[in-house]
Each structure stands twice: as structure tokens, then as C-alpha cells.
Structure 1
Amino acid sequence: MSSKLRIHSPAIHYFDMVRRCHSIREAARRLNVASSAVNRQILKLEDEIGAPLFDRLPGGLRLTAAGEIFARHVTVVLQDVERVRSELDALQGLRTGHVEIATVEAVTADLLPRVLKDMRERYPQVTVGVTLLGSKSIPEAVLAGDVDLGLAFALPRSAELEQLSVGHFSLGAIVVPEHPLASRPAASFAQCAEHGLILAKSELSIHHLLAPLRERLRQPVQAILESSSLELSRQLARRGLGVAFQTRIGIEADLAADTLKHIPLNDGGGVHSDLGLYVRRGRHLPPAVEALARQLDAEIRLRERQEREQLA
């Protein structure tokens, strides 16, 4: 029953789709309605609000200042509809729901698959959508309502985001076992630079964590490679091409198989990257979203505890 829940004007849904598509025609196609119907609802909203919601530009529609304000309201309204739908489903014992999460690449190697497997076993009728983004892009996806949860490293504090969980993980060099640094319990960034650097581009939080260390080098060092892909960096490190950097999260299989070593950086007492789980502040979470958040929190805390024990 609740899957057909429609408790708000179609104009709300039409506006939200136009906002996402930047086009009335494309929004109409996705909604399976006539373009004239979508346009009529947008014009009606603009008349009621007393201001245009979109600028009509050659490249498509763009939200006006009034549109941005209205979009924040629509995001809250539609997310609350999802919460109501999930709670009604839970009352019927259906345990259904859908969760959208934006996450960074590193967690897709082991952490997230383990959590999703557990979710599937506990809540087989809950579906999940996963979008891969750089850490810098994840807050925007959460605040825009494109996703329910954001899982990212080293996000700055924001009044608009609520941190549901956080784990502190050591950033380190990853090298092959026969590398000169492999036997060290820790290493400085300068020592790593002597062996060729494989660095992250600015889309990734690792870039910003390492930037101060790179600036402190006595002589500028040109990286062998700069990439927005941690997987590519890991593969190059496995082939002995240089020293890459990340936390233990994402290289679990290599560490278990002893194909890579993780050497914590010791600059300034250590460099840490916080893996956090985020939602839009003040949002009431639907049961399915809350269930996935609980599972992620438990896994993050487990990984943090395991790392502390390994480094003790």
C-alpha cells in the first residue's frame, strides 16, 4: 500500500525532476508525462511563489535564488515521504525500503561489500543504490537529496551535515614486500619521496592530507603519477613502480596475501584520515536508512579497533 503513497502535489515531484535534469523535456520523459504538463506545474508554482524558479538558459534550466530556497524545502518534503513510506511498510511487517549512498572508492573493496552482504541477509527486501564520488563531492550529494547517506574520508565540519559515525585510520605508504621501506614500522613523507611518489589528485581527500607534507620537502619532487583512482595507484604500487598512499581500508586483500605492505606515516606524530558517515542535519531517517547506518557504524568501529590492535 505505502509503495503508492502520494501525499503531496504532483508539482513537487515535477519540480524536483526538472531540478535534477535541468530540462523540462527530459523530466517529462522520466516522469512519463507530457512536457506541457510539467511546464504547466512549474508555471503554477512560480505564480504561487511570485518569483521564477528557473533561469531559462541556452544550456538548460538553472535554479534561481528563489528556486534554491524552494529546492531545499522540496528535498526535506520528499525525504520525509520516504521515511513515512518505510515506517508504514515496517508496520505491515514488510521490512522494505530503498537506500541511496554516495561513497568513496576505497570502501568498495571490502568494507562496504561486507556491510551490504549483512544487510541482504537481515533485510532481504531492502534495496541499495551506490554512487562513487570523491570525498569533496559527497556533501553536495547528501544536501541535494540525491543520496540518503554519505561515506567519506576527511570531510571538514559542516553545520548542514550530521556525522553519524567516524573512525580514525592511519594514512600510510603502500609498497611491495621487497621495497626498501617495507621493513620499517613507520616512515616519513620525505623518506617515501626518495623512492618515487604515486599521488592522489585533488578530488581525493588524500591529496589534501599530503599537501602540507609535500610543501615541506626541501626540494620539490615530481610525482611519477597523479590519479583520481586509488585502484590504479594500488596496482602501480603492486608492480613496484613507486610509493602510493592510503589507509588500510581498500587494501585488505593485499595485506592478507602479503602482496602489499602498509607503512604508517610518522610526520608530526602520524597522519590520520577520518572515515565518517553523514546525513543531512535534522533529517528523520527511514527505517531502511537507519538500519544501513547502524551496520556501517558497527563495521567502521570494528575496523578502527582492529587497526589499533595491529599498531599497538
Structure 2
Amino acid sequence: MILSRAWTYFEAVARHGSLKSASEELNVASSAIGAQISQLEHDLGAPLFDRLPRGMRLSSAGETFLHHGRRAILEIERGRAFVERLHGTDSGLTTLATVEGLAQGLVADALAGLWKSKPNIRVSVTSVASARVPEMIDNGQAELGLSYLGSRHAYVNVLANVKLEIGVLLPQNHELASKGQISLEELAETGTPLLLSDQSVNVREMLEAAVGRSSLERHTRLVSNSTASLTRLAELGAGAAIRTRLEPILGRPDKGGLSFATLVELKGTVQELALIKNKDVSLSPAGQTVVEHLQRSLRELDT
């Protein structure tokens, strides 16, 4: 990647909010990073950070510079990828923002398949909360996004999507595992505690709207923003994870697998899993290649 030292230092401080953390990441002295940023501010004629007693916060000028700088970096990478392709090199870099559970499951499987035929494609995957994925697409931090969409955004194009039911994940040897539908009352009667996502995941909001927060809290053993942890604990028999049907489809037979049943209280409710890009930005060759493999994976989920 073609980057100036000043931009690299600025972007690291913007992400971490401090010279010290940026210094540790880059293995560069804090004083050197601070000097480069001060010179950059002098060249631009505006302060990029507000200096606080504990750290540094982007100023309005800094936020604008970061936004456009990240867009510019994506364009540089696209340009390099096109040049490489002109010379017969099937390579290039794309960036993908997704949620943790998808990164470990669907995305990992798709990339493994991709690299069997196109081993030189490089991918940078960042795991964030669902709500952050469209933001990263908008501000240029990621070329592609794969996440559950709570609402549509004017700046986003949906390249592929699938609607997934919400239900209960249980180990296959659980007494309710053979049922197609399970209610929260039935889980309580069998002494099966709930393993729930936190407020950063849309499923939690849907559950609270359907049955109330206090009712959920009485039967909840674990709350986590890690969907992978919920799935693993359900496999180990620690409780019932309330997730989409994506998890058991991807299941791990070597670990005993999971059963999926729709949750009575959310019957008919679905989550839209969508592959997205910025509508104003064309895909790089590497991005297009990754899109084709992820589209195939989403089509398989819809069958």
C-alpha cells in the first residue's frame, strides 16, 4: 500500500485515541508520531486532534481528513489491483467488515474456497458489531460488508441477501431437540437457561420487544456480544442460544452439532443477512472476486 508516514501515524492515533497506543502498535516513539502529526497539521492549516488530559480526540477537521483519506486509500488499492490484473496477476486486496460469528463461519469457509483457485487474493477482515458495518462502508474503512441489516441505508447497495429465521440452538441430545418450534416457557420448564446476545445484536431487541426485559432476565445465564461464544456454549450443553438458523447450518459435526427450532415468541420474524458495498464506489477486482464467492455462500443458505 502506498502510504505516507504522516498518514500512517495520523490514522493509528485516530483509531486508538492516544499517542501511546499508536506508538505500541507501530513500534515508533511517541515523540516521532507527535512530530509528524504536528507537521501534518501545519501543512493543512488546521488542528486534526483536540488534545485532552487523557488522549487525543479527532477535531471536525480531523474527522473530515480521516474520512476522505480512507476513501483515497481504497482507491489506491483498487488502482494497484487493476494494474496487477493488466499484467496477468490475479491478485489484489479487498477489505471486509463483518460480525464475529460470520467471520469465523461463513466468511472463513468462503475464503478457504476462494484461495483454492485464486491464492494471491488478499483480504483484510474486521469484526465489529452489526450496526458498525454500514458505517465502515460509508466512511471508507471497508470495501465490503456482510452483516445483519436492521434498516436500509441510502449510501449502501445490497449485492446479495438472505432472510433467516430466529430460533433456539440446542445440542442434538437435548430433550427438546427434535421439536420444530420451542417456546421460552418450554425451555424454562426443562430448566434450560438462556444464552443471549447483548444490546449490540438485533435479536436481543426483538426478544425484549416480544416478551419484556424482566421476563428474559429471570431465565438468562449469559449475555455476550460474542455470537461464537453463544454457539459454542450451546454445543456444550450450557443453555439455549437464541440465534438465527445460520449457526446450525454451518454447524460443526465433529463437535456433536446443534439442532435448530423456531422460537414461538418470534415466529415469523426474520433477520436480513446482507452483503453490501458503497453505492458510489466501484468494486476492485479483488473485491468483485470475493463478492462472487460470498454470493454463492448466501445462495446456499437460501436453499
TM-score between the two structures when normalised by the length of structure 1: 0.80
Counterpart residue number, 1:245 = 242
- Return the letter of the residue paired with 2:93: H
C-alpha displacement of 1:23: 4.6
- Return the letter of the residue paired with 2:245: R
What 5-or-longer segments of structure 1 have no aligned partner?
306-312
Three-state SS of the structure 1 residue aligned to 2:88 is coil
Counterpart residue number, 1:168 = 163
Counterpart residue number, 1:308 = none
- Return the letter of the residue paired with 1:233: L
Three-state SS of the structure 1 residue aligned to 2:220 is coil
How many residue pairs align between the two structures?
296
CA RMSD of aligned residues (A): 3.2
C-alpha displacement of 1:175: 1.6
* Structure with the higher fraction of residues in strand conformation: 2
C-alpha displacement of 1:167: 0.9
- Return the letter of the residue paired with 1:179: H
Please say if residues 143 and 287 of structure 2, whose CA atoms lie closer than 8 Å, have aligned partners that are also in contact.
Answer: yes
Spell out the pairing of 1:114-193 with structure 2 (5 A cutoff).
Answer: 114-193=109-188
Please say if residues 165 and 271 of structure 2, whose CA atoms lie closer than 8 Å, have aligned partners that are also in contact.
Answer: yes
Match of 2:26 among 27, 30, 52: 30
Counterpart residue number, 2:229 = 232
Match of 1:206 among 183, 191, 203: 203
In the alignment, the residues of structure 2 paired with residue 125 and residue 92 of structure 1 have an alpha-carbon distance, to the nearest angstrom, of 14
In the alignment, the residues of structure 1 paired with residue 271 and residue 201 of structure 2 have an alpha-carbon distance, to the nearest angstrom, of 12
- Return the letter of the residue paired with 1:200: S
* Range moving further from structure 2, 74-83 or 210-219: 210-219
Counterpart residue number, 1:309 = none
Match of 1:301 among 291, 299, 302: 299
C-alpha displacement of 1:263: 0.4
Counterpart residue number, 1:286 = 284
Three-state SS of the structure 2 residue aligned to 1:94 is coil
TM-score between the two structures when normalised by the length of structure 2: 0.83
C-alpha displacement of 1:287: 0.9
In the alignment, the residues of structure 1 paired with residue 111 and residue 173 of structure 2 have an alpha-carbon distance, to the nearest angstrom, of 35
Match of 2:60 among 61, 65, 70: 65
Please say if residues 144 and 277 of structure 2, whose CA atoms lie closer than 8 Å, have aligned partners that are also in contact.
Answer: yes
What 5-or-longer segments of structure 2 have no aligned partner?
none
In the alignment, the residues of structure 1 paired with residue 12 and residue 215 of structure 2 have an alpha-carbon distance, to the nearest angstrom, of 52
C-alpha displacement of 1:40: 1.1
C-alpha displacement of 1:91: 0.8
Counterpart residue number, 2:268 = 270
- Return the letter of the residue paired with 2:205: H
In the alignment, the residues of structure 1 paired with residue 93 and residue 69 of structure 2 have an alpha-carbon distance, to the nearest angstrom, of 19
Identity percentage over the alignment?
Answer: 28
Three-state SS of the structure 1 residue aligned to 2:110 is helix
In the alignment, the residues of structure 1 paired with residue 124 and residue 184 of structure 2 have an alpha-carbon distance, to the nearest angstrom, of 37
The superposition leaves residues 242-278 of structure 1 with CA deviations (integer Å, 9 ceiling, x where unpaired) of 3222123233334697642100224464221211122
In the alignment, the residues of structure 2 paired with residue 239 and residue 113 of structure 1 have an alpha-carbon distance, to the nearest angstrom, of 22
Three-state SS of the structure 1 residue aligned to 2:174 is coil
Three-state SS of the structure 2 residue aligned to 1:182 is coil
